[in-house]
Structure 1
């Protein structure tokens, strides 16, 4: 069965243009969403560089950028970026999931690493999903799983007192009370106290790793305390070389972005644009194909001639629903035509006319009387529901009766009907042949 009308298209040019325009607008909108917004990072409240919450460290990255320190929030191949660009790999507050610990192993591909251990987790409030409402301190063994990637013999201790810091690098001291510290025999202290090491150094093969044990120095809630901001910037400045960038690895927080184009196109939100494009392409193919199965035969051309004209006129009358009026007028026309042919007296009407026509019909040998034909016409017009077949049968009987009244019945050997050898004056003449 055809999916379109013969000679036409499934969609008009205007509809196709609108579909193409809608597809282009949807693709553009999805691309803008992908460029200027990120569903993975928007609304985050965790301990990461995208978070404005108390345990996030977005303020740290913005301070560095304000001081013209190159900052890159990386979501793939972070160690390679730091190594190739002569930069610093920053692993700030990674979580202790299996995937994050596996990502931490890649730090040894870089030359210089700054690892900030986590301490807090939280849950947001309903009034603002980017703020922490419930704060929870992580268990020490959860933090140690991260530390053991660098130093398997190290442990975490937490002091309730404000320590007296001993420093080997800077004049500024961090403002921190109840610190989380490292105890290890292999760490080289940079900032430490009697309770443990706050900032220390490890040399592992060709990689220099600095470990900051307490994130309250760099997170959003603590970086504005005392000289913490100065301390946080000084750590990065000491590890960076000229021209390098601070590469903050966000894959350890689950924020991954594949550099593979095809994989990116199948990820949200670009996959919406891909689906929209495929849908638009399917619609265009459908419009171009236009049908399923064999095509419909073309409409026959309108033929010339009286028969076609009469058939079309009859169809129009049938569509208009005036067949009953047509039968009444046809009845009157037959009587007028018959009056001219057989000279019906003008002064007879009604029952007298019916009687006269029946007598003439009997003399001419008609197959049925006018009284029977008139009754059939009246039954077709006055029935409970006017049916087209009944009207047509009545009209056909009326036509046959008229022809028999004029030309005689075909079964009557003496009836007047034009034969093959009749002349032009014999056709249509009343009376009988000699």
Structure 2
């Protein structure tokens, strides 16, 4: 094996390059669509979460009963027939919430947060609570539609709620019941002390559920509570359309970025063209035709550099038209030096004597010198110089 031989075979190098390209492309795609493909098993209170405070259970419950249930992962999805469930968190996207309140179509059920939680070590989808009454942390997001106050009721756990919507359904209060109040709220479900748990914003299809324990995963462990949750959602979804679980406000999905635009029409075509161009460039680099061309020197060696520089100076000084006359004089001197001047002639007499030296098939020297004197553009100067050079070769018999 020679010292200059590559330690890798060509096939190995090609496979490494392909693996690198595929890995980098996968990284870009995953980075672009990361919000859309996250599992949501993070212990938070949203429609993907399987923790006690999450709402994945009611999603699966609706799905198993044959209902049409979908997740909202795009900001463009606003015109949704059916009931939209918005599960608020202290860190929810306020701009998205405002958009849903002002531009959304169909009924909207807003579920306020209640529990402050901490993750259980080593288990992403399990949490432990450290306080209740977190609903007040999100009321500012709803100030555009209603002035809401959140409080904790002294109603004992297991008490029956009053509901004008579902008189045959038993809604029992959870512990640390959270209630709401406000001048623009019309109560739909209350405690015995007329504290609102579910209310409708006047003259809208916006509903607010003060306590998430009526719908979250820990509540559905009880069959009676699960049945009550299904009936409540069905009552709010009067049109019978799909159930939409909003996720954009919780940080899943959302607006487009430069990466997602590159992988979606109409920019996908441009991305594929760029990939094809890069592939062709790689193939050209691997299978080069002939040796690589070295760049030419900026300044040539020797006499060529002197001639080029002199010609450039003449061009810059705009004295090119004078060079043809000097070339005629140089031709005269070269001819006299080569064949001699036996009569010691000069001026017109010398030119007349030189006229008789050239072949009969060629123009006389005086004619060529006159053409050189009249030349003013680059092409005429070149033609005159070439004719004088040919005359000098014929007269001096130079090879």
**Cα shift at 1:256:** 2.1
Choose from 211, 220, 224 the match for 1:223: 220
For the pair shown, the structure with the greater C-alpha radius of gyration is 1
Matches of 1:43 and 1:139, distance apart in 2: 21
Matches of 1:175 and 1:111, distance apart in 2: 28
Counterpart of 1:100 in structure 2 is 94
Please list, as runs of the form range in 1=range in 2, the aligned pairs for 1:118-267 lying within 5 A after superposition. 118-139=113-134, 141-152=136-147, 154-162=148-156, 163-170=159-166, 171-177=168-174, 178-193=176-191, 194-204=193-203, 207-225=204-222, 227-242=224-239, 244-258=241-255, 260=256, 263-264=259-260
Please list, as runs of the form range in 1=range in 2, the aligned pairs for 1:229-378 lying within 5 A after superposition. 229-242=226-239, 244-258=241-255, 260=256, 263-264=259-260, 282=278, 285-290=281-286, 294=293
**For each residue in 1:143-183, what CA deviation from the matched residue of structure 2 results, as whole angstroms up to 9, or x when unmatched?**
4324434311x311211322442111111122223310112
Please list, as runs of the form range in 1=range in 2, the aligned pairs for 1:24-103 lying within 5 A after superposition. 40-77=38-75, 80-82=78-80, 86-92=81-87, 94-97=88-91, 99-100=93-94, 102-103=96-97
**Cα shift at 1:47:** 0.4
Counterpart of 1:299 in structure 2 is none
Contact 2:187/2:198, CA 8 A, preserved across alignment: yes
Which consecutive unaligned segments of at least 5 residues does structure 1 have?
Answer: 6-10, 268-274, 297-434
Matches of 2:130 and 2:276, distance apart in 1: 48
**Cα shift at 1:243:** 5.6
CA spacing shift, 1:293–1:243, aligned 2, 3 Å: farther
Contact 1:78/1:247, CA 8 A, preserved across alignment: no
**Cα shift at 1:119:** 0.9
Matches of 1:257 and 1:284, distance apart in 2: 36
Which consecutive unaligned segments of at least 5 residues does structure 2 have?
Answer: 264-270, 296-399
Matches of 2:153 and 2:238, distance apart in 1: 34
SS in 2 for 1:49: coil
Contact 1:159/1:195, CA 8 A, preserved across alignment: no
Contact 1:120/1:136, CA 8 A, preserved across alignment: yes
Matches of 1:121 and 1:200, distance apart in 2: 23
SS in 1 for 2:205: strand
Q: TM-score scaled by structure 2?
A: 0.57
Contact 1:157/1:180, CA 8 A, preserved across alignment: yes
Instruction: Please report the RMSD computed on the Cα atoms of aligned residues, expressed in angstroms.
Output: 4.1
Counterpart of 1:326 in structure 2 is none
Counterpart of 1:329 in structure 2 is none
**Cα shift at 1:21:** 7.1
Contact 1:104/1:252, CA 8 A, preserved across alignment: no
